[in-house]
Structure 1
Amino acid sequence: MPVKEFKLPDVGEGVAEGELVTWLVAPGDRVEEDQPVAEVETDKALVEVPSRYDGTVEELFVEEGDIVPVGDVIISFRVGEDGEDVEAGGDDSAETGADATEPEPETDIGAETDAESDAETEPDTPPGRTFAPPSARRLARELGVDIAVVDGSGPGGRIGEADVRAHAEGGGDHAGADAGDSGSDKAPAPTPTDVGSSDRKSAVHKRGDDGSAESSADAPSAAGAPESAGRETTLATPATRKVARELGVDIDDVPTDETRDGEAFVTGEIVRAYAEALESGASPAADAVDTSAPEPKSADASLSAPGSADETIPYRGVRRTIGKQMERSKYTAPHVSHHDTAEVDGLVAAREELKRRAEEQGVKLTYMPFVMKAIVAGLKEYPSLNSELREDDEEIVLKGDYNLGIAVATDAGLMVPVVENVDEKGLFELAEEVRDLASRARERKLTPAEMKGGTFSITNFGAIGGEYATPIINYPETAILGLGAIEERPVVRDGEVVAAPTLPLSLSIDHRVIDGAVAAEFANTVMEHLEHPLLLLTQ
């Protein structure tokens, strides 16, 4: 059967690369056209990548956590029967040269006896999507467990290795009594392997791989070379796994005394030490790999002392995009912040009066729609705050649309969906649209188009506490308004200090385009409309 390679497609406008977060399939899985095979995070969204073929997963070329450029091969499929091509997609994906038209050599796909053995020990999995990483699927095959009947404890029912073991130890229907007898037929642990003349590295062995090609960790035969651990499961961060791949080391062979959640755990330092030991034929003692390096803080010491180890979080995806955008804005536009406070007795009363009417229409009315309409009133009077400076053309563009970006805090970072044509929408319509956009932003379901085209932004830090801030402009816009919490604070009225609901405002401007006096006048206009909500009816 021919092998088809599948490249990472353009999963979003202007996206050049993505992080492969989760594999949804494993070698040997049967897939259908349009069935999702992986989840990829870009700098804009988390998306599922669908298959273009009906066939069987042959090989995975990248690990979970890897950054993959658009156009790189991430997976291959066996399609058709008896050499007949049943490609379901277009011809965008390249074939694998001679492998696409000729059967794989026995050294790649295993001898016939091994294939027969695999057929006997690998349980049949009923059709349907099962969310489990390759490591969990491999463990299920080794234990004789049908992955499709395992109850997953992860998000969305995702199955982990612990779930597979629990099912096997609990005497599941598909945990065969002879699972322990198949040790000689087990597939070897994933290790970097050449996959033809293209010099790509495989993240996972091909289906039916008989392990005839030695991993680099087993290759050294010099006396005194460290013995491989030969584990079935090893915990490590994506960065550590990347180090292992670069050094040609099978991470399951690296000796370690450390554990996490009952499983062996290795770090990048331990992997490097093991690789150096392999090259030099050092003492086979596992302790030498883990602790011999005379570092101020050994990997063992930092891992064994609770709370003493630093945690490394990848700087990529949405977080990296936010960082680059903020850096560009801060170092391009000279920021000036203006602070003021609106006394909003009238706004609180107006919202309270309209809440019941909104609820009857199934709308939750917040203060945000009132603020948005007040901002539009200010932008119409002072259009320089609804602008863009095009430096190359040496011109300032005063935008004719009023598209307000609403900053939303999500688990992946700050996202700014855009509400278009705010001047043409009513309070209830704005409330419902903001709720919908914010909800989908937190679920990572926004499209790239819904985060483009803003002319002015709002950030509501008061929702989690705080009064004033110095917001960073959402470049290339020229202004952003920060909202504090509406609370009762002391104000002076008729010579007396009384408690009244107030709304702190923090306005940041691009001082190349907007003067401080104009910023203050804009803030005064916004406050006037918030303090006297009937003025919003004129918008």
Structure 2
Amino acid sequence: MVEVKLHDIGEGMTEGNILTYFIKKGDWVEEDQPIVELQTEKMVAELTAPTKGIVKEIFITEGTTIPVGTTILTIESERGSEKNESSEMQQKEYDYSVQLATSDDPETQTKHKKIKGPKRIKAAPYTRKIARELEVDIELVEGSGKDGRITVEDVHQFAQDRESAATKSDSTNKQIHWQSLMEKREFHNNEEANIIPFKGRRKQIAKKMTTSVYTIPHVHHMEEIDMTELLHFRKEIKSDLDVSVAAFFIKALTIVLREHPIFNAKLNEEKEEIRLEKAAHIGIATDTEDGLIVPVIKNADKKSILAIQKEMKELMNKARVDKLSPKEMTGSTFTISNVGPMGSIGATPIINYPEVALMAFHKTKKMPVVTDDDEIIIRSMMNVTLTFDHRVTDGGNAINFTNRFKALLENPKLLLVELS
């Protein structure tokens, strides 16, 4: 008998939430076959069968959060001669019928459609919870989100369409059904309230942010940068090279981090030492449907602006569809938060513990600026925030760091010279 346990599939992982089983008790599974989908603190991942055999027991129900090391199910290896019999039984169990509305008569509303094998569903844990509350088979819902992801709105629309069909045949039955659904809802002070589970990625984000805030004395240094020349330069090369300003930000930071390594460091209080990292691994705070994720560009200091642009795009696309591997989300030495495109003009972000600094880039907008000759001109200005660990470094270093970064962006030619 082989026990399938929740193992640590990511740095610092302590627990996971069981989302969906792709198998059921009695099924035959092949080695490395996906058997369960789960939500960790950073991603949606699949566990595969460590051996081929028959699923004997499933101990954890869907929607349950369990700690690392918990036994999820057991698999009993079978002799090769028994495999065919088990496979035939499994195929019979997987062939099932689904109901589809075809007329106003409930008795003629169904038609049978064969579906082979378990279906992979893309939906967040909260969406699945809503589906269970509304007694909606989520496998029948068509997702309108990115890459076919099922949203809460899709589930509600499916339930509404189903209820509308039922109303045409029997309004009384609909009322009874609706009342039974309403009884399952949570209420506070006699007002209806939607409940969002505080677990999975959201819970892990909370833990990490709390650790950062209570461990690190945060200081925020703010500066404004004239982006006019960089935007003009980017416009000139855009016909040949489509490079985002964020790629310039990252490359400029790697230069400044090399000159000010105290901001590319980690503090170990137990050993009473500050570790100055040799390589610059830049984390990119990325907003997703299920919460904040930080994919990492490894060795950004050794990569060109074009290479950074390509890798950044690939990582952010993976992040938005929960396809990042643990390796792609760990090991950062400095994090950036490019919130300007979302409209932010300022913020005091929290450091990505155990790093010692983070820089946020805010909205770039045209503003009147007074020159040294007392002339008023229109320039494209951007606010930046450098958050740093005051245990490790001080305000003077932060100002020097930001001034150097500002100089590189305000004079793109200087940036190019530094790269030569």
1:416 and 2:294 are equivalent in the alignment:
yes
- TM-score, structure 1 normalization: 0.59
Q: 1:19 aligns with which of 17, 20, 35?
A: 17
Query: Would the alpha carbon gap of residues 402 and 471 (structure 1) be closer, same or farther in structure 2, given more than 3 Å must change?
Result: same
Q: Report the CA distance between 1:351 and its aligned residue.
A: 0.9
Structure 1 match to 2:379: 500
Alignment of 1:112-123 (within 5 A): none
Q: Report the CA distance between 1:318 and its aligned residue.
A: 1.7
Aligned residues between the structures: 360
Structure 2 match to 1:51: 49
Alignment of 1:301-320 (within 5 A): 302=190, 308-320=191-203
1:324 and 2:207 are equivalent in the alignment:
yes
1 or 2 for the larger relative contact order (CA 8 Å, sep ≥6)? 2
Alignment of 1:26-105 (within 5 A): 26-77=24-75, 79-80=77-78
Paired amino acid for 2:281:
N
Structure 1 match to 2:221: 338
Paired amino acid for 1:50:
T
Whether contact under 8 Å (1:150, 1:164) holds in the other structure is no
Structure 2 match to 1:367: 245
Query: Would the alpha carbon gap of residues 369 and 5 (structure 1) be closer, same or farther in structure 2, given more than 3 Å must change?
Result: closer
- TM-score, structure 2 normalization: 0.75
- Report SS of the residue matched to 2:244: coil
Question: What percent of counterpart residues are identical?
Answer: 35
Q: Report the CA distance between 1:330 and its aligned residue.
A: 1.2
Query: Would the alpha carbon gap of residues 123 and 438 (structure 1) be closer, same or farther in structure 2, given more than 3 Å must change?
Result: closer
* CA deviation vs aligned residue, 1:50-79 (integer Å, no higher than 9, x gap): 123434444322111111233322223455
1:523 and 2:402 are equivalent in the alignment:
yes
Q: Report the CA distance between 1:381 and its aligned residue.
A: 2.6
Structure 1: tracts of 5 or more residues without a match: 87-118, 133-142, 168-234, 236-256, 270-294, 303-307, 359-363
Whether contact under 8 Å (2:27, 2:55) holds in the other structure is yes
Paired amino acid for 2:70:
D
Query: Would the alpha carbon gap of residues 23 and 463 (structure 1) be closer, same or farther in structure 2, given more than 3 Å must change?
Result: same
**Aligned-pair RMSD on alpha carbons?**
3.6
Paired amino acid for 2:291:
G
Alignment of 1:139-158 (within 5 A): 148=115, 155=122
Query: Would the alpha carbon gap of residues 490 and 6 (structure 1) be closer, same or farther in structure 2, given more than 3 Å must change?
Result: same
Question: In the aligned structure 2, how far is the partner of 1:484 from the partner of 1:9?
Answer: 39
Whether contact under 8 Å (1:33, 1:52) holds in the other structure is yes
- Report SS of the residue matched to 2:413: helix
Q: 1:388 aligns with which of 258, 266, 271?
A: 266
Question: In the aligned structure 1, how far is the partner of 2:184 from the partner of 2:317?
Answer: 38
Query: Would the alpha carbon gap of residues 258 and 350 (structure 1) be closer, same or farther in structure 2, given more than 3 Å must change?
Result: farther
1:536 and 2:419 are equivalent in the alignment:
no
1:353 and 2:233 are equivalent in the alignment:
no
- Report SS of the residue matched to 1:375: helix
Q: Report the CA distance between 1:423 and its aligned residue.
A: 2.0
Q: 2:368 aligns with which of 468, 471, 490?
A: 490
Bigger strand fraction: 2
Q: Report the CA distance between 1:126 and its aligned residue.
A: 6.1
Q: Report the CA distance between 1:377 and its aligned residue.
A: 2.5
Alignment of 1:173-212 (within 5 A): none
* CA deviation vs aligned residue, 1:504-529 (integer Å, no higher than 9, x gap): 11111111222112111111111110
Question: In the aligned structure 2, how far is the partner of 1:145 from the partner of 1:366?
Answer: 51
Question: In the aligned structure 2, how far is the partner of 1:428 from the partner of 1:125?
Answer: 52
Paired amino acid for 1:349:
H
Whether contact under 8 Å (1:461, 1:482) holds in the other structure is yes
Q: Report the CA distance between 1:29 and its aligned residue.
A: 3.6
* CA deviation vs aligned residue, 1:231-256 (integer Å, no higher than 9, x gap): xxxx9xxxxxxxxxxxxxxxxxxxxx
Whether contact under 8 Å (2:14, 2:68) holds in the other structure is yes
